[in-house]
Amino acid sequence: MDKLVYTAATGLKAHMAAQAAIANNMANASTIGFRADRVVFDRLQVNGDGLNTRTPASEEVVDADRRPGAIMQTGRPLDVAITGDSWLAVQATDGTEAYTRRGDLQISPTGVLETGDGFPVMGSGGPITVPPASSVAIAADGSISIVPQGGDKTPQVIDKLKLVSPKGTTTVKGLDNLLHVRGGGVLPEDLDGKVEGGALEGSNVNMTQALVDMIENQRSYEVQANLMKQAKDMDESAASVMRVQQA
């Protein structure tokens, strides 16, 4: 009986986590560069004896949907859409290097180049700082050039966006919506990485599929709830039989 209740409770917890992930995806359907959370309920791993064993954390958000989003033209000089499989390196809140596809860049009051959600953008030697300039441009290879205020109007390259490749490295999506290397570390620079200036990559959330997933998940949740109710009824029936026998 305890096993039946435990199974039902585990299922309820898993579907609650899935519902939260689906709701988060729907809420970020219009967020620039957002990658939809992906949840699985049956994961297998190989133990030291070479046997497949079910992992206990089956209800967790395990990764993000890596499919690209639609490209939207904006014409804004600091907007970039990262093309191909490359990712843009940024500095996470804990100071480590993380990665994003969000390209709505902006210059903070202190001159630091940041993404639209406030993460400093990494260059060849750390976070990029843009000096006062009359104009800023980003080339297809990620090179950042400025026209200094006053004096010479010749564009000057000051740094280059750090574009990386996740191929061959295990990466996971964090709660900050950034890509991280599992276990720490950094991704290798993608020397062939390109960006499209004056454009942004939208979210890859499919609202129609998200609604279907939410309905299916809700139905599965009801099944698990009914299973727990049945376990309760069976327990009460067994207790009733025990009372009759004692009488």
Please write the tens of the pLDDT for every residue from 183-215: 889 999 999 999 999 999 999 998 998 888 888
Q: Tell me the average pLDDT across 48-69.
A: 54
Nearest CA to 200 out of 6, 33, 54, 7 is that of 33
Predicted local confidence at residue 216, as pLDDT: 85
DSSP class of 188: P
Q: 10-24, 64-78, 156-170 — which is least confidently predicted?
A: 10-24
Predicted local confidence at residue 18, as pLDDT: 81
* Tens digits of residue pLDDT in 154-177: 899 999 999 999 998 999 888 888
Instruction: Please say if the pLDDT value at position 63 is more than 80.
Output: no
Q: What's the one-letter identity of residue 111?
A: G
Question: d(Cα 15, Cα 7) in Å, to the nearest integer?
Answer: 12
Contact 195, 163 (CB under 8 A): yes
Token output for 154: 């010749």
Predicted local confidence at residue 140, as pLDDT: 95
CA–CA–CA angle 134, 140, 141 (5° rounding): 105
Supply the mean pLDDT for the chain. Answer: 83
Predicted local confidence at residue 47, as pLDDT: 38
Instruction: Please say if the pLDDT value at position 10 is more than 50.
Output: yes
Provide, rounded to the nearest whole percent, the portion of the chain with pLDDT above 70: 81
Identify which of 4-18, 141-155, 217-231 has the greatest average pLDDT. Answer: 141-155
- Angle, helices 2-27 vs 207-246, to 10°: value is 160
CA distances in angstroms from 152 to 2, 88, 107, listed in the order given: 78, 31, 22
| Residue 97, beta-bridge partner list | 91
* Tens digits of residue pLDDT in 36-55: 887 654 443 333 444 333 33
CA 232 to centroid of chain Cα atoms: 39
Provide CB contacts within 8 A for 24, sequence distance 6+. Answer: 37
Quick check: helix, strand or coil at residue 90?
strand
Nearest CA to 141 out of 160, 164, 116, 121 is that of 160
In terms of C-beta distances under 8 Å and separation of at least 24 residues, what long-range contacts does 207-214 make, across chains too? 207/26, 207/29, 210/22, 210/25, 210/26, 210/29, 210/36, 211/26, 213/18, 213/22, 214/19, 214/22, 214/23, 214/26
Instruction: Please say if the pLDDT value at position 7 is more than 90.
Output: no
Question: d(Cα 203, Cα 222) in Å, to the nearest integer?
Answer: 30
